[in-house]
Amino acid sequence: MRRHPKKEIMSDLIKKQWEMHSIYAAVVDNELKVVGEGKTTVVAASDPTAHAEINAIRHACKVLRTDKLPQGYWLYSTFEPCPLCASAAVWAGIDGIVYANNPKYRGEEANWSFISCEEVLSRGKDLHKVSLIKDYMIDDIKGYFTRHNNLTKND
């Protein structure tokens, strides 16, 4: 079995966030292949649960026609999963999460991670244990919210 994280997957998600101005996430199988991808579509879908991680899990489950992912699947995200998304990872059977950016670098964005991903996963470990890799490739994304907020102010 191959090991996570895979730099190419996170690099692709980070590139998409910079270009498409949305948080991105992907569900990756035990062969390190993306089986589901999502971006944040809360406003476009008029759905407060349409976070990138939720959309990626939904996509993967739809592709695999299951409500619980097979063993060895990981969730990659360009931002620390909020309590909703971390909980969904537990319920979906995700074996690990790797994320790039964290709330410390959110700029003027609200702190939607008022309960850390790590704390949610710790509390959910009796349902399903999820490994966590924090701040992976953070230097490639930590300036996003500050830069993006400055660009939109100048429009």
Classified as helix, coil or strand, 139 is helix
For 133, what's the count of Cα atoms within 13 Å in the CB-facing half-sphere? 20
Distances in whole angstroms, Cα of residue 105 to Cα of each of 8, 72, 88, 119: 22, 30, 24, 19
Helix extents (H) in the chain: 7-20, 42-45, 52-64, 83-92, 117-123, 144-153
Q: Please say whether the beta carbons of 35 and 18 come within 8 A.
A: no
Beta bridge partners of 26: 37, 76
Q: Check if 53 is active-site.
A: yes
User: How many angstroms separate the first and last alpha carbons of the chain?
Assistant: 48
Which of 19, 31, 37, 53 is catalytic? The answer is 53
Q: Please say whether the beta carbons of 140 and 14 come within 8 A.
A: yes
Residues annotated as part of the active site: 53
